[in-house]
Structure 1
């Protein structure tokens, strides 16, 4: 699904809303016979203005409220990140206050339309309409802080990445410079890669899509690289960053962990293994998320370097895939493993 906050657009200040509503009201015209008495014309004209002004405000405030999704109804990933970005209790309270003025505005409309029907002089109509505009202005100006608050938080919420919950999500992890982004790009069916912001980091998520043909249809998988996110220990982050990173557990169906057996990436084997163990503890074991281990840079790695990493991880030859992302060597084995994990179980259910 797309980020549910993408429709959280600009929220005008109170005065802007009033200006729009009153301008429309003053331009409105009531249908009345030319031969009608002046008093009747005055009543209809001012009644129309009152209705248009208040209904315009109610409509615009309702649209503002509906722009914000109900936090409790959001998928876990979006709810978690939203609660990190803003005070969701304050957001609910703010929307509740805005919603609370709607029946008040409706009551004012009924009350003053009733008064308008009882006037005995045309000039009284103008006085009543001005009184309505005054009361409405006072009510809306008291909501200025709430409107400003909504406008101040919308940008943060709109930056949450859009993740498709309907298809599995493969998250690539590993130290910087091990070849994660190259692997994401090369195994993606379409080479057009999406780049999205991720809260509390200066980096961006890189999203690719892998389409795997079945007998009668095509199944899609999302592949996500997370540069600057799952590439260094959690202990080096502040609490908010940690929570934002751990929120990725909520969308991860599989971790594709990439190792560089050589010194080329600039990170020791020990530091890469420590990172893997941390992700294993926080993602794989806690959330029962499956994983695939990849040793990249096959062209640069010596047999002894590969053997050392394999022994340190206590792996057999079948426990990892040895690849060269630059030439594409053995990337088909990653796709085959993904097919075994995600597509074959689907196919068995179809029969």
Structure 2
């Protein structure tokens, strides 16, 4: 064995009997007992080889290694709510009920048992009651904020319903006011509970308790309208019919007062209001048809007038939202008698616009009030004098090509309409 190797082994081997290490209670670290022999030592640290080499012209050359590409973290898409979010809204209590229930419960809070000193007991009672009042007012508000959905995560159909039913921005504005009230109640409640806990006398604790109670009550009453507005929003949205996206939907569309609601009453379980004035339908009305043990949806929608989208009212926009966001087949209803208040010429223009916009929908055309139309097809028609094209003349005579003539009074054509709709539904011809 060479001298270098022998020295290396001597340095490596250190007899354990020659070195004693002890912990000192007086000094930090380690010390050696006196009189003991210490040999030089060498510490080796073994590392794993992490470099790869290749032979280049008889020499080892390290290969530059690039860090493995880490898979990019995929952003988890936010899952949109399915329809039906409005039916899951929490029950909102009237503001007056929340306030007086909170006051009643807070005043029942007693001081912690075992406190003998009168001043300490009174300040403990005051702080506990103010804390209880703050929680009884703030917890319902917090629950409302947590359980009312964020509009941007809703299904596009229900998002449209919020905007068109409540007005653009009103939903967020009311929730913002409720949230601001919650923060103010918590802030003021903590402040006055802390002041009461720091009282030095019984009288001071009583005064601060009374002051804190009045302050919290005044703040809540001042902003209580936000809670009542949220209550009205919950009632309005909860009354919206639930639409199942997995169930095919037959949507009745047409000008106001052409007879859509009457057809819904006959074809389905829906019972919409039927009156002889425009915009009878003030929202989406839902009915159902059961065919071969399968259930299908039928919706009645507000009527459409001849005007551009910017001039449409919220009821008309609601109809367009249904057609845009729900998997629907369209049952378009025409009234060529002129009694509905919209001339056949204007109905034709509305029809062509809607048909082109929603060309991907399955389509059934129905001419209503056929009993009146067949008796006097011309003299009740009021036109604006524009030159009629061949297509317009054909439309005035019998509606669009292939339209079914129906009459609610004589029940003519109703079976045919029912057969058409059942055929579409049972053969799964809806385009989702």
Q: CA offsets per residue over residues 172-198 of structure 1, 9 Å max, x none?
A: 23345544333222211x3x51459xx
Matched, 1:26 2:98: no
- The within-5 A match list for 1:36-75 is 36-65=116-145, 68-75=148-155
- The within-5 A match list for 1:260-339 is 260=335, 269-282=344-357, 284-285=358-359, 288-299=360-371, 302=374, 308-309=394-395, 315=401, 319-339=402-422
Counterpart for residue 174 of structure 1:
254
Classify 1:177/1:107 alpha carbon distance in 2 versus 1 (closer, same or farther; 3 Å).
Answer: closer
Tell me which of 228, 243, 257 is aligned to 1:165: 243
Q: Is the 8 A contact 2:249 2:328 kept in 1?
A: yes
Tell me which of 240, 243, 256 is aligned to 2:331: 256
Shift of 1:336: 2.6
Classify 1:312/1:182 alpha carbon distance in 2 versus 1 (closer, same or farther; 3 Å).
Answer: closer
Q: Is the 8 A contact 1:184 1:225 kept in 2?
A: no
Shift of 1:256: 0.8
TM-score, normalisation: structure 2: 0.58
Task: Provide the C-alpha distance between the structure 1 equivalents of 2:120 and 2:166, rounded to a whole number of angstroms.
Answer: 52
Task: Provide the C-alpha distance between the structure 1 equivalents of 2:168 and 2:342, rounded to a whole number of angstroms.
Answer: 39
- Count of residue pairs brought into register by the alignment: 324
Root-mean-square deviation over aligned CA pairs? 4.4
Q: CA offsets per residue over residues 190-243 of structure 1, 9 Å max, x none?
A: 3x51459xxx956435543212224xxx222223153xx23x323599344454
SS in 2 for 1:246: helix
Classify 1:267/1:313 alpha carbon distance in 2 versus 1 (closer, same or farther; 3 Å).
Answer: same
Counterpart for residue 234 of structure 1:
307
Task: Provide the C-alpha distance between the structure 2 equivalents of 1:309 and 1:300, rounded to a whole number of angstroms.
Answer: 16
Task: Provide the C-alpha distance between the structure 2 equivalents of 1:308 and 1:56, rounded to a whole number of angstroms.
Answer: 69
Task: Provide the C-alpha distance between the structure 1 equivalents of 2:240 and 2:136, rounded to a whole number of angstroms.
Answer: 33
Shift of 1:335: 2.6
Q: Is the 8 A contact 1:3 1:162 kept in 2?
A: no
Return the structure number with greater helix share: 1
Task: Provide the C-alpha distance between the structure 2 equivalents of 1:37 and 1:8, rounded to a whole number of angstroms.
Answer: 44
Classify 1:147/1:202 alpha carbon distance in 2 versus 1 (closer, same or farther; 3 Å).
Answer: farther
Q: Is the 8 A contact 2:344 2:396 kept in 1?
A: no
For structure 1, the residue ranges without an aligned partner over 5 or more in a row are none
Counterpart for residue 223 of structure 1:
299
Classify 1:18/1:343 alpha carbon distance in 2 versus 1 (closer, same or farther; 3 Å).
Answer: same
Task: Provide the C-alpha distance between the structure 1 equivalents of 2:163 and 2:292, rounded to a whole number of angstroms.
Answer: 39
Matched, 1:213 2:292: yes
Task: Provide the C-alpha distance between the structure 1 equivalents of 2:288 and 2:344, rounded to a whole number of angstroms.
Answer: 30
Classify 1:345/1:178 alpha carbon distance in 2 versus 1 (closer, same or farther; 3 Å).
Answer: same
Q: Is the 8 A contact 2:130 2:212 kept in 1?
A: yes
Q: Which has the larger radius of gyration?
A: 2
TM-score, normalisation: structure 1: 0.69
Q: Is the 8 A contact 1:295 1:321 kept in 2?
A: yes
Matched, 1:204 2:282: yes
